[in-house]
Amino acid sequence: MRLLPLLTSFRGRIGRQSWWIGFAIWLTANIAGGYTLNAEFLTADEIPPPNWSDTLWQLACLVLLAAVTVKRCNDRDWPSWLGYVFPAVYAVYIVAVQFGVSIDPQAPGIGKAMFWSLAAFQLAMLIDNGFLRGTDGPNRHGPDPLAASVETP
């Protein structure tokens, strides 16, 4: 699959390898943007507070994550909307931190509950998208991406 459609299209199916490539690109863009837009990361002893430019960059990068996750959910024959939930949950985390909510396993109250809820959901989606095979053969979202790669002209 070509890179631009992988990161911007929300239709069709992709296999695990394509999902990992898209996930790695999203993670790299997210980290690079964080260090570029919040230079305190490079000099601070502790994690610096977020700034709006970094937060907006992270939210914009979620489009990349949503694109690969929707296509991966399509491959698993899950409802497409579930692919939008994965980045939306991460967006909740990003925005909550921007507004001063301490999402930490040691934090009291809502911060601790949010940490473990987000961690459990993100781990489940990571395992589902990154490690479990998609539907064999064609499904309502298109042909099996693995079957297409096996066939050589």
**Of residues 30, 31, 108, the one with CA closest to residue 64:** 30
Per this entry, what is the length of the chain?
153
**Of residues 59, 60, 55, the one with CA closest to residue 34:** 55
Q: Say what the pTM is.
A: 0.87
pLDDT of residue 41: 83
What are the domain boundaries of the chain? 8-134
Res. 128 pLDDT band, cuts 50 70 90: very high
pLDDT of residue 149: 61
Is the pLDDT score of 152 beyond 50? no
pLDDT of residue 109: 82
**At how many degrees (to 10) do helices 52-75 and 80-98 cross?**
160
Res. 153 pLDDT band, cuts 50 70 90: very low
142: which strand partners? 139
Q: What is the pLDDT of residues 13-65, one digit of tens each?
A: 999 999 999 999 999 999 999 889 988 888 888 888 889 999 999 999 999 99
153 vs 49, residue with greater confidence: 49
